[in-house]
Structure formats: C-alpha cells, structure tokens
Amino acid sequence: MSKGYLTTHVLDTAKGCPASGLTIHLYAIKGAGRELLASMTTNSDGRTDAPILPQGKCAVGVYELVFAVGDYHQAGGAEADAFLSDVPVRFRIADADQHYHVPLLLSPYGYSTYRGS
C-alpha cells in the first residue's frame, strides 16, 4: 500500500482569505482521456476535509486538479462574465510514497500554483 497522498490549499488573494466553498475535481490522465477520481469542496480554511487522494490510493502517474474558480467567484458576488472559469493544474506523481501538495493562489483575473509541502 502506498504511503503518499495529495492535498491542496486554495487562497483568495483578492480578498486576502482562504477560498471556502470552492469545488475541486481530481482526474487521472489516461492517454488522451481522463478518469474522475474525486470531487471535493474546500472548507473555511480553503482546504478539503480529507486528502483528495488518500494514502493507499496514490499511484505513479499524471493527474489533473480542476478548480471551479468561476463558480466560486460568482457565489462571492463577482460579475457573471468573470475572466476565469475552471483552472486545470496537470502534474505528475513520480513517487507514490510522498506527500504531494498543490496550492492555488487565485484572484478573479489570475492564479498561480506550485508544489508545496
């Protein structure tokens, strides 16, 4: 059984706070297609209540997190024509025994991400 797992943390840099209530989908990339593995929503700290990919489910491969930032911004009162809709972050898990953390810093008009700890 693998010891690794996947987590995220979403911060709204425009508001200066965690992005609460943001939906996230995790996909495994399989050739030209993708398979939905999990869907979660961030809590009041901008994190999911459990790892997106828990220990024992982590495997070497290519994955994609899709953050529903458009819905999040609209729920927060942003205009319906917000610039960003979904933010996909595609990454590789090379060692299934490591912790992979993919934070997202977002605003209505931009975002950044990195491999965190």
Residue 74 banded pLDDT, cuts 50, 70, 90: confident
Rounded to two decimals, the pTM is: 0.93
For the chain, give the percent of residues with pLDDT over 90.
Answer: 83
Q: Tens digits of per-residue pLDDT, 79-113?
A: 656 788 999 999 999 999 999 999 999 988 899 99
Looking at residue 82, its pLDDT comes to: 72
Q: Is the pLDDT of residue 78 over 70?
A: no
Query: Which residues are within 8 A (CB) of 93 and not within 5 positions of it... i.e. 6 or more apart?
Result: 4, 6, 58, 59, 60, 61, 62, 63, 100
- By mean pLDDT, which of 29-33, 47-51, 81-85, 112-116 is the weakest? 81-85
